[in-house]
Structure 1
Amino acid sequence: MNEKTDYYDGRDLGCNYSRTESIFKLWAPDAVKVTLALYQDAGSYNAHGEVTVHTDGLEIGMKNWKAGVWFLRFYGDLAGRYYMYKIEGPDGSIRYVTDPYSKGVSANGARSAVVDLQYWSPPGWEGEKRPPLEGLQDTVLYELHVRDFSADPESGFEYHGKFKAFTETGLRDKEGNKVGIDHLQELGVTHVHLLPVFDFKTVNELLVDDPDSTEPKYNWGYDPQHFNVPEGSYATDPQIPGVRILEFKEMIMALHRKGIRVIMDVVYNHTFGVEDGPFEAIVPGYFYRRDAQGRLTNGSGVGNEMATERPMVRKYILDSVRYWAEEYHIDGFRFDLMGLIDTETIIQIARELHSEVDPSIVIYGEPWTGGDTPLQQQTLKGSQMNKGFAVFNDHFRGAIKGDSDGGGKGFATGQPEMEAAILEGVKGAVHDFTASPLETINYVTVHDNLNLWDKVLTTQGLRNEAGFEEIRNGELTNGGSLEEAVKHSEPYRSVDRDYLMKSESVKRAILANGIVLTSQGIPMIQAGDELLRTKYGDHNSYRSGDLVNAIRWENKRRFKPVFDYYRGLIELRKTHPAFRMTSKEQIEKHLEVLRCQDNTVAYMLKDFANDDVWKNIVVIYNANNHVIKMELPFSKTGWKIAVNEEQAGNKALDFLVDEQVSVPELSMMVLFEEVGGVPRPTKRVEVQYERPDGKYDGWNLWVWGTGLREQRVDFERIENGRAVASFIVPAYVKRIGYIVRLNDWEEKDVDQDCFIELGHSQSAISVLIRSGSDDWKKIS
């Protein structure tokens, strides 16, 4: 096979259906002969849900057309029929395979299906549009598994574990709290990131709704089988190929109508199997990476990795994501183990989707691998710079929480000296690995590893108190009943319901995601964080079933103040563009660090950052087990508190009478300064500084005092041979300290601290300071 000669650039591989004809195209450049096998039905399934006999179809030879593509035009309406390709190789082998470009499949993906996509679209689909989004900076991601969303038997859903559960509106708990899709809208997230929803291998779709079956009913879905078909176990009838298509589209439409976009978690770095996978039998040796000895490489950790750098593999991925974006109106893609996908492929995906489909499509992924790979151009942190896609920020993740599965701590969970790393993440990693804050996905936990609540309990040494047992592969490692273990666990034992927001575990969890939601970049939270979701200590629940994974909607009623806090933080972020800056230059201009030490990070988003209506915003994170006092910049109109230890939102909860605030232990605070408020009484202080040599370059004032935080004040001008500076202080300030210094403490004019007495009544005062003197002279 010659890769250049055999590259096919058409976007019409697979079955192209119309009511008058269907055109089949398969890229199989090494095949000696390819035959289309047509079937009236899905075939005979064995006890394992597999169809192993495919010789019962109508077989029609295909034409070896061009560039390695085999072609067949079939006249007539084939909707509802099934098909496979019979591949005869140069070694005499004969294999029946499904179409890697299948748009529809039978149950368990046993056979490809011819589907009329228009017929299986809900009413109004053609005119269905994405919800408005001004820019990527407005994104708030919510990572969710389809089945987890509605599996709770007490939740009130009709369609447990199905796509259609997202179409159920008006659901309420017994206290009237919103459940399901109404909850998502109330929370305020802009995008739901769905764990894999393409057809995957490890759930038997025929038995998923059979309560008596012991076959696996649950998986996260990182075991791809058919990349371009929705997963059948999430459909109400997986045996009718069009049903999963219709119900998937209904889900998308329902979320869009609620103003929520949809991200697909895609897994193009590996397949479930190789010999029984979607590619190897068609083009042997092409779709997978191998080492010098011809052995499959294992950068994915599951036995194989796709050779994305090869032209027709890259094309397959490009065709696939574009198909989902156009046919299913998908709004973005999260790439699993993106480190295994060559950077050029990701760049081309971003370029094509943004220029030819929709510039608002979000593209991001995991910038790492699951093991060693021979791929040279790995898509790691930094490779995304100015390329139109984002990557997960594991530096920030670790700084906030510590390690992923153990008791290792971070800033929010009790580890000191993490302030600098937190501040780096707050700035959108623009001094770490990004060219723009739009290139970092900020998060604490996702589906992998311990979820947030369980991680907090682990760092506090509360796993035994909570009754958590070790779970592996959906079973207790010490034997026994998982159901009994879950039933007898007490994950909220440390929480006093009457003092919910004073619980140390609750405060640490809220602080962790509070940092994420107020930082520059694209924030992501895991489904259920706002309900203090637990997975009973299971750090890898990919096959642990509904018992462990289902979202318990009763927790909204139990922990409503926590939900309200999350909702308030999201509302604050969405309302104020200062939290959504788009460039490194903006951040360097408008983000001023106030404190970064002693388990405290405080900063100011100043001077109407990103055209915010608030003039200045101060954000404080206190990771100490005690109250801290924080000096604030002077405000002519005073500081108002929008977020404290118990409430969060977009409106003033309290008003400060001076420039000092107490921040409770293990909490965050957001304060703001408005324009147009009633001015507070102030004094203007003018300082004239005189040097005999007349050289003022680099000299400045360092000032402090009651109501005035320590700060640098630069000289504004030279007048009458003197350098002149001025600043405002509250009217009640009677005395301020100062030092005249060169640059950043290169030299001091005099060694000792100096003080200016302001008196009681003046609205303005002007003083003269002469070089070499610790005294000052009042001028007016």
Structure 2
Amino acid sequence: MSDFNQLKELEHTTYPTYEGHDLGLTYTPAGSMFKVWAPTAKQVHVAMYDNAGLYDQEGNVQDHSGGREFPMSRDERGVWSVELEGDWNKYYYMYRLEWADRTLHYAADPYATAVSANGQRTAIVDLAQTHPDGWKEDAGPTLVRATDAIIYELHVRDFSMGTHFNTGEKDLSAAQGRFTAFTYTGLKDTAGNSIGLDHLLELGITHVHLLPVADFHTVNDFAEQGKEYNWGYDPQHYNVPEGSYSSNPADPEARIRELKLLVQSLHTAGIGVIMDVVYNHTFSVEKGPFDPVVPGYYYRTDEHGQLSNGSGVGNEVASERPMVRKYIKDSLRYWAEEYHIDGFRFDLMGLIDTPTVEQLTQELRSEVRPDLLIYGEPWTGGESPQPLLTLKGTQRDKGFAVFNDNYRSAIKGDSDGTASGFATGAWDQEELVLKGVFGAIHDFTAQPSETVNYVTAHDNLNLWDKILTVRHLRERCGFPQWEQGQPQDGRAAEQAVAEADPYREVNEHDLLENETVRKSLLANGMVLTSQGIPFIHAGDELLRSKYGNHNSYRSVDVVNAIRWENKARFRPVFDYYQGLIALRHSHPAFRMDHRELVEQHMEVLHSSGHVVAFALRHHANGDAWNHIVVIYNGSDTEQTILLPAESDRWHVVVDAHGAGNEIRYEVAGHRVTVSRWSMMVLYDQEEPAQPSFLTGQDQTNELAENGLEGSDEGTDQEIAGHYEEAALYRTIELIYERADRQYSGWNVWVWGTGCRDGHVELSELDDGRAVARIQVAPHVRRIGYIIRLNQWDAKDIEADRYIDVDLNRSVMQVLIHSGREEYLLLVNDNRAG
């Protein structure tokens, strides 16, 4: 670090900090409290307005004078505050800040939770009045393990702007491109296929990952529908929904209520909501949410004192500074609590320093919700002076996941060019594919739950267009050359799209024989049958094309909108995706979340000649199927593969022509032939699945489903019998003894339990020992553990340790002495069954 930067960092570390959770507005009908952290300001007033201000032709308010201004008081932590009596609901406010050189300006509240159109003024809203009916009871799906998730990345506008979204009896034109499009059910195309929300439910995905829905700068809320488009990676107000997705951007309450309705609607369908967050940069510095309040503090600078550009768009947020880190954590907590968001995907997570990501993960999981999904892009958009970048590998054992671009490239090749991968024609990719199949545990992860597997996302060519590019079919399909969202030849995008045909070489009557179709199914089939968290781009199941536009963030709807008419046209492709997703849902062998399970149950069968085959053995992860074999054939000829010798009869559930849980046909013997550019999944024997761990609420739900709850027939004996298997869950009491009797900060990290892995607290006992109680599923024979200080500040023993489960005991007590590798099994009378 240069002397200049050292001085700047020293200056920033002298700023006072504030740890309270009440920055911004605290509203009640009796009065409103305003707090803003502005340690370098000489005076701050809050200016109150009864309207949103006078807008110019560009949709901005240039003059914020004329409000009723109230002086604020500064405390020793740099926080200015004032409490105004009375009900200020539906008013607007700004902060007027004055500096040592007597300059002054008006700024919106960086903690704003409601704003006027285009975010020009902060709005005062009674958030309780924005709750939809039943909001208190709203909750997203619960994940036992992160690898249970199947993520579907979707842009709010793309979801409903296709012409076939609005073809039913209801006129949905007012909802198209809006949050409210997600609240309609029962929508069908002319052939009777479900579209919209019902399509997502039918597909079977567990979570919708929404591209940024927080207020962004680059779309004018007043623009005519369809005239402006953006993905939303230009943040302005981090804690406010985007106005252009609202039915009325001029009403600050509407966008809040409508986003909550979107979340509630997806939750009602059993689908979680993941929010794409962009804390690595802001659209503007001077007009952004931070610099007008604390100049210079929120942004990194290079050795010359200039704004660093690790984001590639002109600035990067200094997440490592205490009040920036606090802002990010406060913002995430707000979205999770106020909007019931189920997870967060971080844009350019590489630029968020690793200690910040680790802290926010731990705090959100422990204080808000233990199964929040947290993942992001482990790369940057340019050079950054931050030494603790969150790149691949930094996430090991820290509870969050990162995108696996190693596996992505191994499957498809490069992102925008003609280079190929395993599924698109390249040879010698088998070793890289296997690293991805194994959840990257032999690459950059400690556990498979730390990798998000994917082949395409909103960035770069989507899957269909990438395969056409590799096959040199762009010209035949009539794709234009794109520049800044428009065809280079001067045609309008609408004309260029109308004159192109992405499916020119497809015979719809023999769809699953087509090379491009097969390669696309193979690519995402690999994602959906690998260890880790699978992620697919919206529309892949409909052979979505963006007409060769690799960066469509500024293109019009005709390029980006999902074409719902493709569901009827390419129904076998949708059915194939649906079958693969159902297979993954039904079989925990594909969803192992710990390294030990993967290493214990996975075996490579074949890895050469453009073919990868592996087995999931011995009821992996409690699966009902004994041995499962998965084969990927990326070659242009059919391949015959040897099957494991333990069985001589195999049931095929996935091949080139269909996918799912149902048996398609049987194979006798030890060889099977796999069609070119396709995959196959087989199993040998099926036994009753191991019982899943049931929470109290799960038991209540299952009792109701079986007619036992609240019924005279539901006697205690019947209920006990109904849960006889669930009672086989065991408890390990891990008793920890330290010579110094100091247990503060010490805890246990466990894995392989089949229940809830991860952090387990120690409770101190009277005899100078501490105990952790660990629940273990019936099928588990061995668990792993580490005794650690805080969040990996130290380990009692550096190596991983294991406990063999005593199957004859319902409660098993083991004594661990600090510094000793072995454990002692204590005798008790808690014998099982």
Same fold (TM > 0.5): yes
- The structural deviation recorded for 1:657 is 2.0
- SS of corresponding position for 1:509: helix
Which residue number corresponds to residue 704 of structure 1? Answer: none
Q: What residue is the counterpart of 1:565 in the other structure?
A: 576
More displaced stretch, 375-384 vs 471-480: 471-480
Matched, 1:575 2:586: yes
Q: Which residue of 2 aligns with 1:542?
A: 553
Tell me how far apart the structure 1 counterparts of residues 53 and 76 of structure 2 sit (CA, whole Å): 32
Amino acid at match of 1:321: L
CA distance in 2, matches of 1:165, 1:67: 45
- More displaced stretch, 569-578 vs 479-488: 479-488
Alignment-mate amino acid for residue 571 of structure 1:
A
* Alignment pair present for 1:22 and 2:32: yes
Q: CA–CA distance in 1 between the matches of 2:519 and 2:224? A: 38
Which residue identity does 1:307 align to in structure 2?
A: A
C-alpha distance in 2, partners of 1:78/1:154? 44
Offset, 1:566:
0.3
Letter in 2 for 1:201: H
Q: Alignment partner for residue 46 of structure 2, among 8, 15, 36?
A: 36
Aligned to 2:499: 488
User: 2:142–2:371: 8 Å Cα contact kept in structure 1?
Assistant: no
Counterpart of 1:670 in 2: which secondary structure?
strand
Deviation at 1:294, TM superposition (A): 1.4
Among 337, 343, 357, the residue aligned to 1:326: 337
Instruction: Decide whether the 8 Å contact of 2:493 with 2:556 is kept in 1.
Output: no
Any conservation in 1 of the 2:163–2:563 contact (CA below 8 Å)? no
Match of 1:164 in 2: 180
Match status 1:641 vs 2:652: yes
Name the structure 1 match of 2:120. Answer: 110
* Helix, strand or coil at the partner of 2:628: strand
Distance in 2 of aligned mates of 1:300 and 1:331: 26
Partner of 2:93: helix, strand, or coil?
Answer: strand
- Which residue of 573, 587, 593 corresponds with 2:598? 587
Report the alpha carbon displacement of residue 600 of structure 1 after superposing the two structures with TM: 0.0
Q: 2:165, 2:15 → 1: CA distance?
A: 57
Mapping 1:705-744, distance limit 5 Å: none
Q: Displacement of 1:62 after TM fit?
A: 0.7
Q: C-alpha offsets along residues 287-325 of structure 1, whole Å, 9 cap, x if unaligned?
A: 000112211010000000000000000000000000000
Is 1:136 matched with 2:183? Answer: no
Correspondence list, 1:341-356, <5 A: 341-356=352-367
- Greater Rg by CA: 1
Hey, what does 2:189 align to over in structure 1? 173
Q: Percent identity?
A: 55
- 1:267 corresponds to which residue? 278
After superposition, residues 392-431 of structure 1 pair within 5 angstroms as 392-431=403-442
2:519 is paired with a residue of what secondary structure? helix
Q: For residues 593 and 329 of structure 1, do their structure 2 counterparts lie closer, same or farther at Cα, with a shift above 3 Å needed?
A: same
Aligned to 1:463: 474
Corresponding residue of 1:95: 105
Q: Is the 8 A contact 1:637 1:674 kept in 2?
A: no
The aligned counterpart of 1:701 is: none
Deviations 1:686-730 (A, max 9, x none): xxxxxxxxxxxxxxxxxxxxxxxxxxxxxxxxxxxxxxxxxxxxx
Aligned counterpart, 1:241: 252
Tell me the distance in 1 between the aligned counterparts of 2:224 and 2:353: 36
Q: Paired residue for 2:234? A: 223
Larger deviation: 477-486 or 553-562? 477-486
Taking the aligned partners of 1:97 and 1:311, their CA distance within structure 2 comes to 22
Paired with 1:487 and 1:523, the residues of 2 have a C-alpha distance of: 33
Is this contact kept in 2: 1:122–1:250, CA < 8 A? yes
Residue of structure 2 equivalent to 1:46:
56
- Conserved 8 A contact 1:200-1:224: yes
Which of 39, 45, 58 matches 2:68?
58
CA distance in 1, matches of 2:640, 2:216: 54
Instruction: Indicate the residue corresponding to 1:718 in structure 2.
Output: none
Residues 486-508 of structure 1: per-residue CA shift (max 9 Å, x gap) = 00101000100011000000000
Q: Give the superposition deviation at 1:476.
A: 1.4
Secondary structure of the structure 1 residue equivalent to 2:111: coil
CA offset at residue 133 of structure 1? 2.2
Size of the aligned set, in residue pairs, is 672
Match of 2:763 in 1: none
2:461 aligned counterpart, secondary structure: coil
Query: Which residue number corresponds to residue 78 of structure 1?
Result: 88
The one-letter code sitting in structure 2 at the alignment partner of 1:523 is: P
Distance 1:397 1:550 in 2: 24
Q: Distance in 1 between matches of 2:196 and 2:252?
A: 26
Q: Distance in 2 between matches of 1:675 and 1:282?
A: 64
Mapped pair 1:316 → 2:327:
yes
**How many angstroms apart in 2 are the aligned matches of 1:20 and 1:4?**
37
Q: Residue 155 of structure 1: SS of its match in structure 2? A: helix
Q: Which residue of 1 aligns with 2:821?
A: none
Q: 2:16 aligns with which of 6, 27, 31?
A: 6
Instruction: Show the counterpart of 1:758.
Output: none
Q: Is the 8 A contact 1:199 1:230 kept in 2?
A: yes
**Structure 1 Cα separation of the partners of residues 49 and 556 of structure 2:** 35
Amino acid at match of 2:530: S
Cα distance in structure 2, aligned partners of 1:23 and 1:62: 10
Aligned residue for 1:145?
A: 155
What's the counterpart of residue 219 of structure 2?
A: 203
Q: Residue 472 of structure 1 contacts residue 540 of structure 1 at CA under 8 Å; is this kept in 2?
A: no
Following superposition, the deviation at residue 634 of structure 1 comes to 2.9
**Which residue does 2:811 correspond to in 1?**
none
- C-alpha separation in 2, matches of 1:676 and 1:402: 40
The residue type equivalent to 1:558 in the other structure is: R
Question: Closer, same or farther in 2 for the Cα pair 1:263/1:208, shift >3 Å?
Answer: farther
Deviation at 1:4, TM superposition (A): 5.3
CA contact (8 A) 2:236 2:288 kept: yes
- Measured in 1, the distance between the counterparts of 2:365 and 2:563 equals 38
RMSD value over aligned CA atoms? 1.1
Letter in 2 for 1:423: L
CA distance in 1, matches of 2:12, 2:165: 57
C-alpha deviation, 1:64, in angstroms:
1.1
Q: Contact (CA 8 Å) 2:211, 2:276: kept in 1 or not? A: yes
CA-CA distance at 1:219 after TM superposition: 0.2
Partner residue in 2 for 1:739: none
How far off its partner does 1:5 sit?
5.6
Q: Which residue of 75, 78, 101 maps to 1:68?
A: 78
- The 5 Å alignment of 1:581-620 reads 581-620=592-631
**CA offset at residue 2 of structure 1?**
6.2
Closer/same/farther in 2, CA of residues 312 and 185 from structure 1, 3 Å limit: same
Distance 1:331 1:624 in 2: 40
SS of equivalent residue, structure 2 residue 581: helix
| Offset at residue 127 of structure 1 (A) | 1.9
The aligned residue for residue 741 of structure 1 is none
2:209 pairs with 1:193: yes
Where in structure 2 are the equivalents of 1:652-667 lying within 5 Å? 652-667=663-678
Cα distance in 2, alignment partners of residues 632 and 411 from structure 1: 22
Q: Deviations over 1:139-181 (max 9, x none)?
A: 0000000000001122124410010000000000011100001
TM-score normalised by length of structure 1: 0.85
Deviations 1:726-749 (A, max 9, x none): xxxxxxxxxxxxxxxxxxxxxxxx
Q: Counterparts of 1:624 and 1:633 in 2: how far apart (Å)?
A: 22
CA distance in 2, matches of 1:649, 1:636: 22
1:676 Cα deviation from its structure 2 partner: 5.9
2: CA distance, partners of 1:265 / 1:282: 25
Is 2:354 the counterpart of 1:338?
no
Report the Cα distance in structure 2 between the residues aligned to 1:652 and 1:51, rounded to whole angstroms.
Answer: 64
Q: 1:588 aligns to what SS in structure 2?
A: helix
Classify the secondary structure of the residue corresponding to 1:126: helix
Aligned to 2:462: 451
CA drift of 1:545 comes to 1.8
For residues 507-522 of structure 1, the aligned pairs below 5 Å read 507-522=518-533
